[in-house]
Structure 1
């Protein structure tokens, strides 16, 4: 279903045109906006682009963001903090990159890239970004930047301007181009409270319990689906008495002990760092959309895939140990499509690498 009405002109309608949507009043339901409301915001210019939106760009509770034409290799990550993103660039820029024909983002380096989308948020609506699942599973760390912003990934109400993405491949060098989707955006009305949390344990009981990334592997083309031999990039990890020793600096793909379910009127985010569960980072890609793992979407039994990087000291994981926490939030209403209903790589998943790799 195409939710976005096509236009002959770019999607640049001013924010005043959304007054009839009545997004801001406190009397309206508060929470994360579902896909039909996101489509309205795209059609009226709250989320706009100089190029037409793709038909599949709007997900049940998020919008995929696309790389623009330019990126810059920078010496260091930064926050604009009262200045625009490009005003800060001269302090750290090394060289500019043309993404129109594709460019390699090298592991261990930091980049800033333009996004095709821009925001014109009305009063009462904020935005938050996270990496897409496929981005996190190849160990590419991405964060959203907005002009004058003091935080990564969060965009304040009333913000009007361009948005950018910081890209920092950790293990693999990757090939990306204009239009590649690395992160996604949620829009939220009001300040709805968190509903509850879910402790996520790790499953170390199967014959194959995970994968460890190989150092010095080849480049991954982020737009080439099932185009890479997983054995050239990953080392399989097999069951060892329900334990796994994490080595500092290494990157692992593991699976949750239990199934993960996101009710149709809720969305969830996996906390990226929680020092109380161990000295490692879990899950670069934190958004779970409504319908993931649910009976309504014919997906009971879906696991959560865990992207794990150990910090300075080795850490011994045991089967069932809590490694992450999901935080659930309400939607303002049920989305007209649930996660996976129009096709998804990760619905009904078990232990699974990113969509860039052929089946193991």
Structure 2
């Protein structure tokens, strides 16, 4: 097994990811897309092969496809486009595979646009003992569990639902910042959006291709409070602006369940340069994807709902978040890129 060496422990920047691709440690069934490598992460793409399954699982001591045989309902061909229905669970093989050298581990997370349409995704590896984590030395294919919650989704080969971050050594946690929720509204009128229960299909490769009114209900300002209903999905904004320094990356993590009966933020990676002046931003709000559990919960303005954990990069990335344009740089309260601007 080859070894990966770096002068400092930390998250790998874009140029190191590109070097791993060039060296074969990250491979693909098809050529990589030009924009697939992000400042500190790699977008992963669906292949044409998937399965509708009756239950989620971890493979344990078996391969993913061996385990799929126990729970599959039928195979799915994504090549012509396929609608994955809300309330169902699917496993898809990804185009990328890994042959990680010694000294490297990886962690996956949903892309921001995936979380904002309430699609729950988790990475699976052969003989993996946990979701989203790839152990040192892993050599094999990658799979994605996909569970649309609020909207049915149209996907096809090449659709990107999650991203991979690679880490060398044991990078220290530089700091942890609490994130509060904004319930006063950026313009004093709207504090968020609630997903409509009986909306149509979201085409995940059709940017600005959907009328938001067909999928979302705007939520007005109401005494700095919002009653979260069980089973409903909300898009809210952080009270604070988020800035990620160019030599750091961050992950948004859920708060302790004892603080509130809800889950915040399916998509937790923030790349270096997000919200910073150097990346031509002016501070960006963190968009919060919120789903409550079994009981209603009254959320108050400024209440802490998540935490940002910052980690160092091994070196400055060759590109920063937002360079060349981004749907989410300098964002306020904003729906995913699949929807036209609310007017």
The CA distance in 2 between the partners of 1:184 and 1:78, in whole Å, is: 20
Query: What is the CA deviation profile of residues 314-333 of structure 1, one whole-angstrom value per residue up to 9, with x for unaligned ones?
Result: 11111111011111111001
Residue 6 of structure 1 aligns with which residue?
A: none
Residue 153 of structure 2 aligns with which residue?
A: 174
> Does structure 1 conserve the Cα–Cα contact (< 8 Å) formed by 2:100 and 2:137?
yes
> Does structure 1 conserve the Cα–Cα contact (< 8 Å) formed by 2:235 and 2:335?
yes
From 310, 321, 324, the equivalent of 2:292 is 310
The CA distance in 1 between the partners of 2:154 and 2:264, in whole Å, is: 24
Q: Secondary structure at the match of 1:271?
A: strand
Residue 299 of structure 1 aligns with which residue?
A: 281
User: Displacement of 1:298 after TM fit?
Assistant: 1.8
In structure 1, the gaps of 5 or more residues are 1-14, 17-21
In the superposition, the TM-score normalised over structure 2's length comes to: 0.97
In the superposition, the TM-score normalised over structure 1's length comes to: 0.93
Residue 120 of structure 2 aligns with which residue?
A: 141
Residue 251 of structure 1 aligns with which residue?
A: 233
User: Displacement of 1:50 after TM fit?
Assistant: 2.0
Query: What is the CA deviation profile of residues 39-83 of structure 1, one whole-angstrom value per residue up to 9, with x for unaligned ones?
Result: 000111111012100000000000000001110000000000111
The CA distance in 1 between the partners of 2:172 and 2:274, in whole Å, is: 21
Moved over 6 A (4+): none
Check if 1:23 corresponds to 2:4.
yes
Residue 92 of structure 2 aligns with which residue?
A: 113
Residue 198 of structure 1 aligns with which residue?
A: 177
In structure 2, the gaps of 5 or more residues are none
Residue 136 of structure 2 aligns with which residue?
A: 157
Check if 1:210 corresponds to 2:192.
yes
User: Displacement of 1:273 after TM fit?
Assistant: 5.3
The CA distance in 2 between the partners of 1:57 and 1:337, in whole Å, is: 13
Query: What is the CA deviation profile of residues 165-210 of structure 1, one whole-angstrom value per residue up to 9, with x for unaligned ones?
Result: 0000001000000000000000000111211111000011121100
Q: How does 1:333-352 map to 2 (within 5 A)?
A: 333-352=315-334
> Does structure 1 conserve the Cα–Cα contact (< 8 Å) formed by 2:277 and 2:283?
no
Aligned residues: 339
The CA distance in 1 between the partners of 2:272 and 2:79, in whole Å, is: 34
User: Displacement of 1:342 after TM fit?
Assistant: 2.1
CA RMSD of aligned residues (A): 1.0
> Does structure 2 conserve the Cα–Cα contact (< 8 Å) formed by 1:24 and 1:122?
no
> Does structure 2 conserve the Cα–Cα contact (< 8 Å) formed by 1:114 and 1:163?
yes
Check if 1:60 corresponds to 2:42.
no
Residue 261 of structure 1 aligns with which residue?
A: 243
Q: Secondary structure at the match of 2:258?
A: helix
Query: What is the CA deviation profile of residues 61-113 of structure 1, one whole-angstrom value per residue up to 9, with x for unaligned ones?
Result: 00000001110000000000111000101110000010111101100000000
Q: How does 1:6-155 map to 2 (within 5 A)?
A: 16=2, 23-24=4-5, 28-155=7-134
